[in-house]
């Protein structure tokens, strides 16, 4: 499995702009998750801890799973208090149970097959205690074959969509001081609506 968040992507991830990185959005997300987390929370695709760190700051026992060692290295610069297993969110296990498992910011789409997404749901369920819940945050996709989703002085983002296969490839063209133009494309799969 390819780590699409390695290297420069991980190093720049928390410098991203947009609604998901707005402090008010982060706070609202944590506010939503907090009532479900009395028995601890497991974040699938924990990444840099954008949500896990403020959730843990509220006294919640948080753990995570992530495929990218580089993203987790960014989390480690913030805290060592959140245990993280490196591996695929569809199959990596933590030997604990939680009242909440969650996956945010369209990360379910990183499972690029239906079987992989179903396995992610099964893995989340396996980590939940009685009465636990699984929260999945996913945006409403565009319906155009090509759509510019971001256009600024330093970033152009274009989504390429195939509705027949549910495959979405996000293309990013970023101007980074000292590095010039960085180009990156990452595949994903939209979850089934049925």
Q: Would you say residue 154 has pLDDT above 50?
A: yes
Closest of 165, 171, 172 to residue 190, by C-alpha: 165
Using pLDDT thresholds of 50, 70 and 90, give the confidence band for residue 178. Answer: low
The two structure tokens encoding residue 121: 């749901």
pTM for this structure? 0.79
Close Cβ partners of 58 (under 8 Å, ≥ 6 residues apart) = 30, 34
Q: Would you say residue 148 has pLDDT above 70?
A: yes
Segment 166-171 long-range contacts (CB within 8 Å, at least 24 positions apart): 166/114, 166/190, 166/191, 166/192, 167/112, 168/109, 168/141
Name residue 61's beta-bridge partners.
none
At 193, is the secondary structure helix, strand, or coil?
A: coil
Which domains are seen in the chain, by residue range?
Answer: 8-136 (3.40.50.150), 146-189 (no CATH)
Q: Would you say residue 66 has pLDDT above 80?
A: yes
For 84-134, write each residue's pLDDT tens digit.
Answer: 999 999 999 999 999 999 999 878 878 878 898 999 999 999 999 999 999
């Amino acid at each position: 499995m390819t780590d699409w968040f390695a290297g420069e992507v991980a190093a720049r991830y928390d410098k991203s702009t947009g609604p998901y990185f707005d402090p008010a959005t982060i706070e609202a997300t944590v506010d939503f998750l907090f009532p479900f987390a009395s028995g601890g929370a497991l974040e699938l695709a924990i990444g840099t801890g954008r949500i896990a760190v403020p959730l843990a700051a509220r006294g919640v026992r948080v753990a995570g799973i992530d495929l990218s060692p580089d993203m987790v290295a960014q989390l480690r610069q913030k805290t060592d208090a959140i245990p993280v297993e490196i591996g695929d969110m569809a199959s990596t296990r933590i030997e604990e149970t939680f009242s909440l498992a969650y996956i945010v910011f369209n990360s379910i789409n990183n499972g690029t097959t239906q079987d992989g997404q179903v396995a992610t749901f099964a893995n989340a369920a396996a980590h939940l205690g009685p009465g636990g819940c699984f929260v999945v945050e996913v945006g409403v996709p565009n319906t155009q074959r090509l759509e510019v989703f971001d256009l600024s002085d330093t970033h152009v983002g274009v989504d390429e969509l195939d509705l027949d296969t549910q495959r979405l490839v996000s293309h990013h063209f970023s101007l980074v001081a000292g590095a010039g133009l960085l180009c990156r494309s990452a595949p994903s799969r939209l979850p089934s609506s049925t």
